[in-house]
Amino acid sequence: MHGRCHCGNLCFDLDWELESTGIPARACACSFCARHGGLWTSQPQGILKIHISDPSLVSRYAFGTATADFLVCARCGVVSVATSCIEGRLYAVVNVQALDDIDPSLFRHESVHLDNEEKCVRIARRKQNWIANVAYVERTP
């Protein structure tokens, strides 16, 4: 699967075996995700490669527990990826709204409310559920 922000400055390639039941699409109810329309997916055994054309146009926004960075394209404003560095390893989720050429009927929508989640529980959940094979790679022309 391929995804990107609107202007294409931040792109990603996501490789995983799709389940026959579709793509989980979690709508986080926190104020940031609600305001940005974040609908997140991950697969722990997936492989995510993040490509950024102009890093000066990507801001990292952390709030609350400051345990995740939301990658916001400064040019178009789209939040495509969120990352979390846990014990020296990078984990991530991607916004299904940023996926290219995916039939929306494949999304299995669910709502999550994590506002009162303790920090240690949040980190453990991410280690278990987020994409664990994440790399920033050079974009080839």
pTM: 0.89
Contact 127, 91 (CB under 8 A): yes
List CB contacts of 56: < 8 A, sequence separation 6 or more: 74
* Cα–Cα distance measured from residue 123 to residue 139, given in angstroms and rounded to the nearest whole number: 30
Domain count, the chain: 1
Q: What is the pLDDT of residues 90-125, one digit of tens each?
A: 999 999 999 999 988 989 888 877 767 788 888 998
Mean pLDDT for the stretch of residues 45-62: 95
What range does the domain containing 26 cover? 2-137
For 56-99, what is each residue's pLDDT tens digit? 999 999 988 888 999 999 999 999 999 999 999 999 999 999 99
CATH of the domain at 28: 2.170.150.70
The bridge status of strand 107-112 relative to strand 23-28 is parallel
